[in-house]
Amino acid sequence: MENILKTKNLTKQYGSKIAVDSVDMTIKKGDIYGFIGKNGAGKTTFMRMVLSLTEPTKGSVSLFGGKKIEEVGNRIGSLIEAPGLYKNATAYENLKRFSILYGADESKIKDILKFVGLSRTGKKKAKDFSLGMRQRLGIAIALLNDPEFLVLDEPINGLDPAGIKEIRDVILKLNKEKGITFLISSHLLDELAKVVTKYGIIDNGKLIEEVSTDELQERCKSKLIIKTDNNKKAKELISKEFNINNIKTDKNSIIIYSNFEISADINKYLINNGIQVSEIFAQVDNLEEYFIRKIGE
């Protein structure tokens, strides 16, 4: 599958401050990539470098399978921070003015407004729009050139639940019906989880993990964590004695996705067979807990 975005060692430094630190990111065609991190983690700076709004200190940005933004800029739409709107103009007038600036086809304006749910705003000025409506208008402007890749920085920040749903529905509709690939930053993790197919977690400028939605759901399952002085042998003993198949090990632990009710029996059995158990506990993560645990690490 084609890489829509691939960065290598992408870095931005301001004096002694490293805002983005050697980020390697890959976004495949059709992804809705959720870029999550605390405020100040480097999300916006990274996006600005991808869009060539900020010059990297070092590293590279590759788009659409190896091209530079100068070659494919017309295939990308963006909404970075608050949309710059003509506040005394209607939604239609805003799109008409931006279509002239972008050299876009004005005949598409009505269809775009209908697609984002703003076709019935009539003579209402942008200054009187709700925040959700202004965000949708910003997305509409980003759609004027029929982009294949949309970069949205905190598109649901500050919205009420109705506004969040409006933006979420537009994103899913664009992805499903038009095949648009997304890079979306947000710190509203529960809402992001309703749309994204892949996550990138950034902390202090470093991309500490990329994980698919399926992988994350697997990691956030309820599980029993056991740490011993011999995990390989302990796993074999547990599997044989308790007939547990849903068990695996990582570099530090044994992980069991069932049979939590017999944790005391497992602990006793291991000790009786010469295995020292240093920890045994149940862990249940949601996205927010997983995120906090990762940046804590």
pLDDT digits (tens, 9 = 90+) for 57-115: 999 999 999 999 999 988 999 988 777 889 999 999 999 999 998 888 888 899 999 88
The pLDDT, as a whole number, for residue 165 is: 87
Specify whether the CB–CB gap between 239 and 259 falls below 8 A: no
The pLDDT, as a whole number, for residue 182 is: 96
Residues 258-279, mean pLDDT to the nearest whole number: 89
d(CA 68, CA 50): 10
Residues 205-221, mean pLDDT to the nearest whole number: 86
Structure tokens at 142: 């980003």
Helix, strand, coil percent content, the chain, rounded in steps of 5 = 40, 30, 30
pLDDT band at residue 154 using 50, 70 and 90 as cut-offs = confident
pLDDT digits (tens, 9 = 90+) for 161-182: 888 888 889 899 999 999 999 9
pLDDT band at residue 296 using 50, 70 and 90 as cut-offs = low
- 46, with CB counted inside 10 A (0-12, 13-18, 19+), is buried
Residue 68, phi-psi category: left (phi > 0), alpha (psi -120 to 50), beta (remainder): beta
The class of domain 220-296 in CATH terms is alpha beta
pLDDT of residue 297 exceeding 70: no
The residue among 38 and 187 whose pLDDT is bigger is: 38
The pLDDT, as a whole number, for residue 166 is: 85
Q: What does the domain layout of the chain look like in residue ranges?
A: 3-212, 220-296
pLDDT digits (tens, 9 = 90+) for 181-209: 999 998 777 778 889 999 999 999 999 99
Contact residues for 150 (Cβ-Cβ < 8 A; gap 6+): 76, 77, 78, 79, 139, 142, 143, 174, 180, 181, 182, 183
pLDDT band at residue 285 using 50, 70 and 90 as cut-offs = low
CATH superfamily to which 3-212 belongs: P-loop containing nucleotide triphosphate hydrolases (3.40.50.300)
d(CA 81, CA 51): 13
